[in-house]
C-alpha cells in the first residue's frame, strides 16, 4: 500500500465535520542516495564503477476541484509526506522516483505559507519540488580518478506549513429539527437528490448543493437535526460564516416556546449581517410575516428563495492566474560565495555548501582512501586555499552537519 493510499484511507476514517479554514504541514520527498559499486567479473578483482543514481523525491502537488466546498477531510496540524526517491543500485541501476503527493482542495481557496507567501489556487500547482537525486560513483569517474569511491546523498525534501481558507464555503444554511423538511427544501431549490423520508435522522451529515445561475453558483448546506443540543454545539461554528440561514419548521411547532428560544440562541452566535428566514414546510397558506420578526416562506413561496438569494449575490471579480514559480520553495540565497563559516572560539569550520555536504553524506568517510578522494574534491573547489587566506590554524574541526573531520 502506497503512502498516498494510506493517507486517503486515514481521511475516510476521520470525523467529517465541516471546516472552512485549516492549517497543515506539507513535506516533499527526499532524493534517493547514489550508490558506490564496482563491476565484478571473473578474474577481475575490481572493474569500473557501476553505482547508479538515486531517484528524485516526490513533489507536493495542489489540485483545485470545483466539487470540493470545504476542508472537512483535513485535521489541523496534520503532516502530509510525498514519497522519497529510492537509492541507486549496482550495475548502473538508478533508483525509482518517489510518488508525488496530490492534495485536492476547493477551487479558488486561499493559501498562505509560513513564509508569508499567498496564492489563490485556480489551477494545478507543483507547490514543493522533491529533493534532487544523489549521483552514483559512475558520475565521479574522471581521467585522473578511474576508481571513484564517492557518491552523493539525495537532497532533503522541502517542508512548509500552510493555512488554507476555502472561498467556496456555502453562503446559506438550512437548519431545523429532524424531519422538519430540510432535505425537501434543498432538493427543490437545487435539484439535488438527498434522501427524504417520514422518519427522524434522515440526514446524518452536512450535505452541500448549489443553485446554478449565470453570475455565481450559490452553495447551500443542509445541517442535520440542528435543534438537538449536542449537534447544535458541533455545527454552530459553521453558521458564523453564513450570509443566510433558513430555519425549517412544521406548522404545528410554530408557537412552541422552545422554537423561539433556539432561534434566539442562533441569532446571538452569528454575524450581525447574516439574514434569518423561516420556512414552514407543511403549510401553503398565508403566514403572518411578523410571527418571529423574520421573513417567512411556505410550501408555495419557497421558490422565491432563489430570487431572494440571487439578489444578494454579487458578481465575483476575475481571479489572477496562479503564478506557479512564485510559490515553489526556493532555498535561501547566501550573499557571499563562501562554502564555509568559521567559528574561531570553537575552532570549527562549518561547511555550508550543499553539494559538498551531500557528497560527504553519500560517501563512507571512515575509510582513508575515501577521505583522500574527498580531500581532492575540497581542493578542487579551492577550499584549502580559502582557509589559508584566513590564516585558520591546523587542528580545527571541519564540520559537515553530523560529520566531523580534522584540518591537518
For 313-353, the pLDDT digits (tens) are 544 444 344 444 444 444 444 445 688 999 999 999 999 99
Burial class (CB in 10 A: 0-12, 13-18, 19+), 20: buried
Cell numbers standing for residue 284: 401553503
Domain limits, the chain: 3-167+321-327, 172-312, 340-406
Tens of pLDDT, residue by residue over 201-255, are: 444 567 777 777 665 678 888 887 666 655 666 677 777 778 888 888 888 887 7
Q: By percentage, how much of the chain surpasses pLDDT 90?
A: 39
Distance of CA 176 to the CA centre of its chain: 34
Which pLDDT does position 327 carry in this prediction? 47
**Strand ranges across the sheet with 21-27:** 78-81, 21-27, 159-165, 109-113, 118-121
Question: Does the pTM of the predicted model rise above 0.85?
Answer: no
Q: Helix, strand or coil for residue 164?
A: strand
Q: Which residues in the chain show pLDDT less than 70?
A: 1-18, 43-46, 193-205, 213-216, 225-234, 285-291, 312-337
Which pLDDT does position 24 carry in this prediction? 96
Give one DSSP letter per residue of 192-230, joined into a string. Answer: ------SSS----S-EEEEE--SS-PEEEEE-TTTTSHH
Report how far residue 184's alpha carbon sits from residue 31's, in angstroms, rounded to the nearest whole number.
54
Cα distances (Å, whole numbers) of residue 176 to 222, 246, 262: 9, 8, 10
Same fold, 172-312 and 340-406: no
C-alpha count within 13 angstroms, C-beta hemisphere, residue 404:
6
| CATH architecture of the domain with range 3-167+321-327 | Distorted Sandwich (2.70)
- Is it true that domain 340-406 has CATH number 3.30.300? yes
Residue 167 near residue 186 (C-beta atoms within 8 A)? no
Which pLDDT does position 315 carry in this prediction? 42
Which superfamily, per CATH, for 172-312? P-loop containing nucleotide triphosphate hydrolases (3.40.50.300)
Q: Helix, strand or coil for residue 345?
A: coil
Amino acid at each position: 500500500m502506497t503512502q498516498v493510499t494510506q493517507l486517503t484511507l486515514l481521511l475516510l476514517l476521520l470525523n467529517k465535520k465541516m471546516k472552512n479554514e485549516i492549517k497543515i504541514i506539507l513535506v516533499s520527498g527526499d532524493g534517493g542516495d547514489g550508490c558506490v559499486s564496482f563491476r565484478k567479473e571473473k578474474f577481475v578483482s575490481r572493474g569500473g564503477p557501476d553505482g547508479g543514481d538515486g531517484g528524485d523525491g516526490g513533489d507536493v502537488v495542489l489540485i483545485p476541484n470545483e466539487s470540493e466546498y470545504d476542508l472537512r477531510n483535513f485535521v489541523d496540524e496534520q503532516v502530509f509526506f510525498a514519497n522519497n526517491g529510492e537509492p541507486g543500485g549496482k550495475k548502473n541501476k538508478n533508483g525509482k522516483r518517489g510518488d508525488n503527493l496530490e492534495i485536492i482542495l476547493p477551487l479558488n481557496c486561499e493559501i498562505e505559507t509560513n513564509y508569508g507567501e499567498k496564492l489563490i489556487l485556480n489551477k494545478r500547482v507543483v507547490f514543493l519540488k522533491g529533493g534532487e537525486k544523489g549521483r552514483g560513483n559512475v558520475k565521479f569517474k574522471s581521467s585522473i580518478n578511474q576508481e571513484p569511491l564517492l557518491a552523493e546523498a539525495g537532497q532533503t525534501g522541502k517542508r512548509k506549513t500552510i493555512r488554507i481558507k476555502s472561498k467556496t464555503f456555502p453562503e446559506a444554511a438550512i437548519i431545523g429539527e429532524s424531519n422538519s423538511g430540510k432535505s425537501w427544501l434543498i432538493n427543490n431549490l437545487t435539484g439535488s437528490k438527498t434522501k427524504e423520508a417520514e422518519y427522524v435522522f434522515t440526514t446524518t451529515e452536512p450535505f452541500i448543493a448549489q443553485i446554478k445561475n449565470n453570475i455565481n453558483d450559490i452553495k447551500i448546506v443542509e445541517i442535520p437535526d440542528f435543534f438537538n443540543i449536542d449537534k447544535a454545539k458541533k455545527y454552530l461554528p459553521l453558521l458564523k460564516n453564513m450570509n443566510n440561514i433558513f430555519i425549517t419548521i412544521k406548522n404545528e411547532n410554530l408557537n412552541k416556546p422552545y422554537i423561539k428560544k433556539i432561534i434566539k440562541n442562533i441569532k446571538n452566535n452569528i454575524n450581525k449581517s447574516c439574514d434569518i428566514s423561516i420556512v414552514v414546510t407543511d403549510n401553503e397558506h398565508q403566514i403572518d410575516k411578523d410571527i418571529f420578526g423574520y421573513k417567512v416562506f411556505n410550501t408555495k413561496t419557497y421558490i422565491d428563495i432563489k430570487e431572494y438569494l440571487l439578489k444578494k449575490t454579487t458578481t465575483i471579480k476575475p481571479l489572477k492566474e496562479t503564478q506557479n514559480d512564485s510559490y515553489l520553495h526556493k532555498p535561501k540565497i547566501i550573499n557571499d560565495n563562501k562554502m564555509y563559516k568559521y567559528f574561531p572560539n570553537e575552532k570549527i569550520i562549518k561547511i555550508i555548501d550543499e553539494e559538498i555536504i551531500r557528497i560527504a553524506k553519500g560517501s563512507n568517510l571512515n575509510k582513508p582512501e575515501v577521505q583522500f578522494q574527498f580531500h581532492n574534491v575540497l581542493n578542487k573547489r579551492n577550499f584549502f586555499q580559502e582557509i589559508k587566506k584566513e590564516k585558520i590554524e591546523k587542528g580545527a574541526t571541519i564540520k559537515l552537519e553530523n560529520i566531523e573531520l580534522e584540518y591537518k
